[in-house]
Amino acid sequence: MNKEILEFSKVNINKHLNLLILLMCISLVSCNSKKAEPEFSDAIRINQIGFYPNSVKQFVVADVQVETFAVVNEKDEVVYTGKLINKGIWNISGEQVFLGDFSSVISEGKYYILIDNKLKSYSFQIKKEIYTDALNAAIKSFYFQRASMPIEEQYGGVYSRKAGMLDDNCLFHPSSGHSVGSLNSPGGWFDAGDYGKYVVNASFSVGQMLHLVEEYPNLIADGQLNIPESGNGESDLMNELKYELNWILTMQDTDGGVYHKLTAKNFSGFIMPEAYNLQRMIIGKGTAATLNFAAVLAQAVRLESAKNPEWSQKALIAAEKAWEWAVKNPKLAYKNPEDVVTGPYDDILFSDDFYWAATELYLTTRNEIYLNYLLENKEEYIHQLTNSWKFFVRNNAFHSLIENKENLNEELKLYVTKGQIKLADEILEKISKNPYKIALETFEWGSNSDILNQAMILCFAHKLSNDEKYLIGAEQINDYIFGKNATRYSFLTGYGSKQVKFPHHRISGADGVENPIPGFIVGGPNKDKQDSNEVKYLSSFPAKAYVDVEASYASNEVCLNWNAPAIYVLGYLQQHRK
């Protein structure tokens, strides 16, 4: 090769090499200049279902020092920017809490929160009727708890199962007052994660949901839930409640007293209902069960008498007979016999049970006997936390009186009006001071029912006053249930981005289906952690004392009286925010 050609080749090679280096540099600069994809951060706690367009919209950032945030739509466009407010340290969770508010964003769509230009929240929606699916699922969870019948595929889908607990030959335990014989007591719902049926909790829970039926009888339409009774011309919610009420009716003794519970002596293992092989028994009899029986049946009669007069007449006779028995036996407390370890639902104070029974019987019959009892035996207007079946009974009475205040004399009307507003204002005051914008500072067994009962109190204050502040308070509490909490979980199975997967629920644990039955509220954080040593909690802070494992009955069990207030609150918000 001659010298000229060689030099020409070197020049071209150098040119191409320089060009290649330049292109690589441009490419590298271009790559580096691209905006990094934001990463999910569990420091951002938000309602994972979403918000109504006209709702207050808030979220929490924990332990991340930031000053501003952005709301980003599904096209990755920033639609709103705002400042985070430092709310200080919440001692109950051990976190430094920052609060963000984007209530002015009202356009329907899917969004996420972006902080520090690199951390994002779970996605959520803004839309009308945002809670329709969650509400339907929360009600239908009771269908999946039905005893004595199969759950057919056309109604239950992958959660279909065979019948279990026919309860057609339940032996009397000596504590029932009978030494021989048996009782036919089919139907009703399993109370919780176990297979027991308990009159006290059944009556209380049905009573809470009957408030929603009384206020908005058409909110849950016929056919809305796809249950066997759908298409009979009556609300599916009322149909479901009647399945439990019909079982409750079977639990009355011939003298008017009511048996306490239908369980075996011990809890079963995590098996399906059809595999259950323990002897079912009628256990106990007492004042609490009898009065709660009288109250809920009288309440149901008020709603059913026009449509089902024959059933209503039977139920009212049973309710009044129960009242008469309780008046003669005013202090008969239930206690688990030595050979029984299933749920006790025990109580020794019955003034609130008498008050609820008298309330419902008066509102249904207008008999002055019951009115005189109410006027002579006023209950203190308070909300006691923990064991709502025991302590929220008086509030069931207050709420029925509020619903029917046009039928009250001035003294009683003034009492419940002033009492409810005062109680609700106390809850709002606590919300205003709490970094998470909730009113609960004590996390015990079933804390989620405590917080939902607070929301229920606010709903009734809104009903009385039509003051927007009470509805806002109920929404702020509801946000907690769906993820704006220190655990980051959405506490309704099947809903939210961070879902509960392993509730303490025998059917969900034994059915072979990957995900639990949807629609159950789990108990929530519980500082007392009464589980066995095999359950390991990840935090010592009360607001974080929750673990999503099947064995944790203290924090992760399902129960009728935890779903009941959720259904009322979701239904009330649907009615007033749609």
Catalytic residue among 211, 399, 462, 504: 504
Q: How far apart are CA 366 and CA 378, in angstroms?
A: 18
From 484, 432, 431, select the one nearest 454 (Cα to Cα).
431
Q: How far apart are CA 126 and CA 437, in angstroms?
A: 20
Q: How far apart are CA 575 and CA 212, in angstroms?
A: 10
From 436, 425, 484, 475, select the one nearest 455 (Cα to Cα).
475
From 488, 494, 497, select the one nearest 524 (Cα to Cα).
488
Q: How far apart are CA 70 and CA 52, in angstroms?
A: 19
Instruction: Give, as one character, the DSSP assignment of residue 490.
Output: B
- Position 4: which residue type? E
Residues 56-75, buried b or exposed e (16+ Cβ, 10 A)? bbbbbbbeeebeebbbbbee
Residues 475-484, buried b or exposed e (16+ Cβ, 10 A)? bbbbbbbbbb
Tell me if residue 557 is catalytic: yes
Strands, sheet with 259-263, edge to edge from the N-terminal-most edge strand: 182-183, 170-172, 281-285, 259-263, 197-198
Tell me if residue 528 is catalytic: no
- Position 484: which residue type? K
Encode 437-482 in three state secondary structure. CCCCCCCCCCHHHHHHHHHHHHHHHHHHHCCHHHHHHHHHHHHHHC
Please give the structure tokens belonging to residue 338.
């030595």
E strand or H helix at 561:
helix 560-577
Tell me if residue 576 is catalytic: no
- Position 58: which residue type? Q
From 43, 40, 41, 50, select the one nearest 495 (Cα to Cα).
50
Question: Which runs of E-coded beta strand occur in 271-366?
Answer: 281-285
Q: How far apart are CA 63 and CA 96, in angstroms?
A: 5
Catalytic residue among 167, 253, 347, 557: 557
Catalytic residue among 167, 194, 215, 240: 194
CA atoms lying within 13 Å on the CB side of residue 378: 11
CA–CA distances in Å: residue 525 to residues 122, 366, 478, 484, 522: 21, 43, 16, 13, 9
Q: How far apart are CA 293 and CA 245, in angstroms?
A: 9
Tell me if residue 173 is catalytic: no
Asked if 329 and 301 count as a contact pair (C-beta separation under 8 A), the reply is no
Q: How far apart are CA 243 and CA 228, in angstroms?
A: 11
Instruction: Give, as one character, the DSSP assignment of residue 84.
Output: -
Active site residues: 194, 504, 548, 557
